[in-house]
Structure formats: structure tokens, C-alpha cells
Structure 1
């Protein structure tokens, strides 16, 4: 089974009249989200050379930065120095999925919280991003802005797919409390895993937000999407000029389960150093999310989820990302 394609180009222009192209795009999005939860997004308008430069920026820093340089921007618990419990560099094995350490290193970045004080100490997620250097910051700030515009276009497409006004979601996503990860995956060798019992590069999980826009290098066979039977795995290999996009848990709740948040994992068995940059497009921090009435009607007439404030929901999810379960459950 191959992932479906969605062409978002008809929705890149805000407020344009309805057209057959928009209707077709919205239908393909609906089918992809309902049936699979993963798809290739084309027609996004972000140049390929720009995407490659972002990936090269990550690879260059991960492979050339010294331990001391990485330590300068290391993630720290909230209230410790400039830490907020979420932002910054994580060494191999520090990120945790389902209680097990993952075999990758990463820099985690978040939108600026409106209550962020000018200086530490910071509350959870209410700190400032820890950038490797000004060039890295400039590259990522510009790139994330482009992906946020793309996310807003996909929300317009989603609105039409659900028979809602095209601008229905605008107040919920302005501004988006986005998350971005710059990730480096060393080869997953037996020797490398001696001190990392997780067994995979990134453990099986579903994303907890709305949309994930994945930019990855040309490594094949690493990203695997769980098939409908819950047993097999589908390779979601990169395709030049397209993003791999998936539905997150928050969007599944918003659509009352109509759209599927599909489990996926990364198992990088190649010999190269794999790089990926997922940008997670989210509602605004204060947005209150509850199942849409149109989706309730399409899923049996009963709301399956209660209302949540997105920021509080995010805090609960992020708090479990960095603490692995003790060996043998002790």
C-alpha cells in the first residue's frame, strides 16, 4: 500500500472563490485523513533548494558541533538555569517514547509563549528557544514561517472538506503554537544500541497535535506507518517536492475520530546519518478544542471527546517526553 497524494495548491491563495480544483483537493484530503491518516502533500510552493538547505543546516551542525557546543543549548528542566523542560538540544537516548529511550539527537523549538518573561527562571514551555547560532536561527525562523502559511492553507482545505466556511478555523489557529524538531539519526547498529534499550530510532507513537509536516532527507525505509490491520508497516519514503503529512491526536479529537491519527515509527538501519525536520502545526495556546458538530453527526451522533484548552493539553503531553521507565519496571 502506498500513501495517497493531496494537492494543496488551490488553497495557497486565501479567500479565492470556490472552484472545481478546491473541491477535488478537499475531497482528496478528506479521503486521506479518514482512510489512512498519512499522505504526501504536493503543490505546497516551498522551493526544493530551500528545503535542502534546511536539512543541510541541521546535518552540518549535528555532525560538526562539539560536545561543549551542544551542551550550551542542552534542554534543562523548567526552573533550572534557562530551561523550560522542553526547548533545546537532547543527546542520543534522552528523548523518550512510551517509556523507552529513542536513538536520535535533536533540537526542539517552540512558538513563543505570550507569558514568557524576559529572563529565567521559566515555567514549563514558557521559555525561549536555544539556538545553535544566528545563521541557524535565521534559516529556521524563515522556514517555519513558510510552513505555518502552508498549515493555514491546509486548514482552509480541511474546512471545505468538512463542509464548513473556508475561514472557519482561522480564529483557532491564529497564532499557531507550533513545534519544530531538528533531528539527527545515526545508524541503528547493534553496537550503538548497547546503552539504549529502546531498540528503534524513534519508538512507535502518534503525534499529539494537528498536522505534522515532515521534511526529510532521501533516506529510504526509515519512516514506517502502521497499516490498517495494526500489525504491518508501510514505508513512507521521501518523495522530492512533497511533504509527508500526518494527522495528530488533537485533530482526531477535533474531528471526533473522523480523521485518523496513525501510529508510526523510525527504524534507521542504513549506514548514513539521517536528518529530518518535522514542523507540528497546532492551534493557538488558548484555543478551546471540542469535537465539531459536523463530525459528530458523521460519526454516530455522540461526542467522543471533551473540550480541552490546547496549551494545557500540550503541557501534559510534553511532560512525558524525557523520563524513561526504570529497567524491568523497577
Structure 2
């Protein structure tokens, strides 16, 4: 078996209460190197049972391959003018856009609930609405499986934020990032990728970076689909590794680190014969978080502040708006 193209990082020292400072510093050093070089890595010893991961993937595959079209349509994403929030719900093939080009996948999008603020017309504002859940009788347990999985990922995300603080030299203030993610505005996608038609020029999911802090990807065993752009412009395959998740950093982490860590461009090009299923979870800042470079990162990167302050809710609303409407410029889908 060929060695993975990305580093494998164990989170064990940050999950064990009896871990030594030396073991944490060693893991933090490896994490810093991975985030500085690739912005992507495999996370092992993450503490999420394989039974939960298997259940989530099984429910996702059953939805895409077995649910009637009427069931999918019943939870379709709707624009605010049509009584939706413009983001949550099911998208059929080709509906999602990356840089104004249609992606060849179908998906259900979920977001952390935010206060519902109806327009006087009875619709909802962008991103202010309820999540929409499949209710097929032959796929019962879908909601329970995903909510259990996401709860564990939020706990894992908290641990990763502490590990990343150590990696940035903040072991004496390990909640320097976590203070801004106490009510993380998580985003989750359940994505189905049919094989690209033979000779197609498009992408399963076009080139993009992710929006927030850290993305945790659970996917089936399909190889040669997820691709990560290296610093020399070449594309590396991020094939599944047993027992590990693919993790990458997003735009907000690039701001916090003043560019020491890059929000890496990636894409999905699925030319295999199978139907690929992936379940990315995006651990984000708080809705109202104001993100700006950390002082030690500014100093470590030469003393020049490369980014101004970003209000997270404004950042994500601009990104999401570009996912479904042409004219979105560089706005891109979050898909792995």
C-alpha cells in the first residue's frame, strides 16, 4: 500500500487527562508542520467510535440511492422568497455552484440553528431557518445518527482548537481560539457523488477553500476523488486512511494565524464507477465572532498584520450566497 500523501497526526495527547506536557508539545509540533506545509492532514486517535462513523455513512448512502424523488423534494432548499432560508436542505445534481460553475453532486446542508427572524412576507432570512430532515420510513434513525455524530465532533473540535493553540505557541493560553468557538456555528453537509460522465469537463466539486476553523471529513473508501493543491500547484490525492479522518483548516484559521497556516485549495474529481458518499463537518467560529490575527502569529510572520478583522457571520453569509446564485465571484461550495 502506498504511503499517504499527507501527514498523519495523533490527537491522543490532547484526549488523555494523564498526558505529559512533552507529549503534547511533540504532537503540537507535528500539527504546526502539517498546517504550515499542507493545511491538510489525517487525524488518528480522534476518539469517535467506528460504529458511529459506519452508521452515518450507511444512512447517507441509503438516502441518496434509495429515497424517492418526492422525499428528496420535500426537504429541498428554498430561497427566502419561497419560504426557505436559502441554504438548508436538499440540493439536486447541478444546483450547487463553485465559482459560478455547477458541481456534479447532490447534498443535504445543515447548519447550527440560529434565531428565526421571519420577514413580514412569511419567509426567512439567509441562514435563519430550521434544518430539514429526511423522514423516509426505510431510513429511520437518520436524524439521531447524525446528531450523535455531530455532538462528538463538536467535542473533538474543541480539543483540536486547544491543540492548535499549543501548535501556535499558546500553551500558556490554550483557549485563545476556543474562546471564540464556545457556540461554534457548525456547518454539515451530506454529499452524494455519482461518477462524472465520461469525457465531462466539469468537477464533482470545484476548487475552493473552506470558510471557518477546521473541517472534519468522513468519507467512504473511494480513492482518487478528493484532491489537495500543493504549494507547487500540483494536486495530491487525499485517499481514505483506515481509522483516520481527513482534516483541513479554513479561512478563519488563516486569518487567526496571519497566514502562517494556509486555507488550502481543494476539489473533488470523482471519475470512478461507484457512487461516492462523504460527510464533511465544518467546525466554525461563533456566529458573532470577530476574527483577527493573533499577536504571536503576527510576530512570528514578520510583524506585519496581513489581515484585518473579519466578522464571521458576514463572511459565511457572503460565501453561502455565492453557492446558489451566479455572480458569486470566488464564492465556493464547501465540499470534500
Q: Same fold (TM over 0.5)?
A: yes
In the aligned structure 2, how far is the partner of 1:320 from the partner of 1:54?
28
Correspondence for 2:235? 233
Once the two structures are TM-superposed, the CA of residue 325 in structure 1 deviates from its matched residue by 5.9
Correspondence for 1:174? 182
Q: Which of 12, 17, 21 is matched with 2:15 structurally?
A: 12
Residue 104 in structure 1 maps to residue 110 in structure 2: no
**Aligned residue runs from structure 1 range 133-212, under 5 A:** 133=135, 135-164=141-170, 165-190=173-198, 199-212=202-215
Correspondence for 1:318? 320
In the aligned structure 2, how far is the partner of 1:56 from the partner of 1:21?
36
8 Å contact from structure 1 (residues 125, 315) kept in 2: yes
In the aligned structure 2, how far is the partner of 1:123 from the partner of 1:320?
15
In the aligned structure 2, how far is the partner of 1:80 from the partner of 1:28?
48
Correspondence for 1:247? 249
In the aligned structure 2, how far is the partner of 1:143 from the partner of 1:170?
20
In the aligned structure 1, how far is the partner of 2:210 from the partner of 2:149?
21
Once the two structures are TM-superposed, the CA of residue 67 in structure 1 deviates from its matched residue by 1.3
Q: Secondary structure at the match of 2:323?
A: coil
8 Å contact from structure 2 (residues 52, 145) kept in 1: no
Correspondence for 1:116? 116
How high is the TM-score relative to the length of structure 2? 0.90
8 Å contact from structure 1 (residues 48, 240) kept in 2: no
Correspondence for 1:55? 57
In the aligned structure 1, how far is the partner of 2:271 from the partner of 2:247?
22
Deviations 1:109-163 (A, max 9, x none): 00011x2259952111010100112621111111001111111100000111112
Correspondence for 1:73? 75
Q: Secondary structure at the match of 2:281?
A: strand
Q: Secondary structure at the match of 1:140?
A: helix
Deviations 1:254-308 (A, max 9, x none): 1110001111111111111000000000011011110111110011111111111
8 Å contact from structure 2 (residues 118, 125) kept in 1: no
In the aligned structure 1, how far is the partner of 2:26 from the partner of 2:5?
20
Correspondence for 1:23? 25
In the aligned structure 2, how far is the partner of 1:307 from the partner of 1:140?
33
What are structure 1's unaligned runs of at least 5 residues?
A: none
In the aligned structure 1, how far is the partner of 2:178 from the partner of 2:303?
25
Once the two structures are TM-superposed, the CA of residue 206 in structure 1 deviates from its matched residue by 1.1
What are structure 2's unaligned runs of at least 5 residues?
A: 329-336
Deviations 1:78-109 (A, max 9, x none): 2422x101100000000111110000000000
8 Å contact from structure 2 (residues 42, 244) kept in 1: yes
8 Å contact from structure 1 (residues 12, 153) kept in 2: yes
Once the two structures are TM-superposed, the CA of residue 169 in structure 1 deviates from its matched residue by 2.2
Correspondence for 2:334? none
In the aligned structure 1, how far is the partner of 2:163 from the partner of 2:306?
24
Correspondence for 1:88? 89
In the aligned structure 2, how far is the partner of 1:49 from the partner of 1:137?
16
Once the two structures are TM-superposed, the CA of residue 178 in structure 1 deviates from its matched residue by 0.3
**Aligned residue runs from structure 1 range 278-317, under 5 A:** 278-317=280-319
In the aligned structure 2, how far is the partner of 1:100 from the partner of 1:282?
25
Q: Secondary structure at the match of 1:89?
A: strand
In the aligned structure 1, how far is the partner of 2:191 from the partner of 2:210?
15
Q: Provide the aligned length of Structure 1 versus Structure 2.
A: 317
